[in-house]
A and B are shown apart, each in its own frame.
Chain A
Amino acid sequence: QQQVKQSPQSLIVQKGGISIINCAYENTAFDYFPWYQQFPGKGPALLIAIRPDVSEKKEGRFTISFNKSAKQFSLHIMDSQPGDSATYFCAASPGAGSYQLTFGKGTKLSVIP
């Protein structure tokens, strides 16, 4: 049973455009939602994260929007750049004391000039 569903599987965006990746979860025990960015040949790296007590978190060009009632969250990349081309994973963690992450299947983002 897939607990974190991510879409789309791939995304092509023009330079300067907005990239949007969506995730939905099922387990209401999840209480921490990070996004990871992975470049080819590298392990994923933490990009930005949110807890369900806020509806939005922004760091530079990256914003997470969170809808607790719908059990959905999304990553927005504003002014997308070719250097943002990578695979993005959403994830969820089930509560204090747990360090496990359940990952989505990933979205391959290509930003074209």
Chain B
Amino acid sequence: DVKVTQSSRYLVKRTGEKVFLECVQDMDHENMFWYRQDPGLGLRLIYFSYDVKMKEKGDIPEGYSVSREKKERFSLILESASTNQTSMYLCASIPSRRTLGYTFGSGTRLTVV
């Protein structure tokens, strides 16, 4: 089974801190994504990457950046955390055959205080 592992299940950070959310997948998938999930808003795409060192903005990239130095790892960075970034963050990967569907991690619940 493909596994997508997010490094932390719960995180509490202070306003203004730089925050790193790590995601690792073990099935050599080319494509990786970061979504945030908020009640009543569904899943919204923050950033995605189709290759190492490649990144593209999603629908809500403001306040975030990403890094993909290795194929299996895709990091989401909150440059200066704010309270409105309190959310559930989901990482996903998919091979270059979309009918196989995304594999999501279990999520990181980030609280910014």
A residues with a Cβ closer than 8 A to B are 6, 9, 32, 34, 36, 41-46, 49, 89, 93, 99-106
Contact = CB atoms under 8 A, between A and B. Distances in A.
Contacts of A99: 31, 33, 48, 50, 94, 96, 98
A60 B19 CA distance: 43
Interface string B1-19: 0001000000000000000
A106 B44 CA distance: 12
Given A89-B42, A100-B58, A105-B41, A46 B98 contact: no
Interface of B: 4, 31, 33, 35, 40-45, 48, 50, 58-59, 90, 92, 94, 96, 98-107
Contact of A45 (B42, B59, B104): B104
Contact of B42 (A32, A43, A100, A105): A105
Nearest to B40: A105
Contact of B104 (A6, A44, A102): A44
Contacts of B50: 99
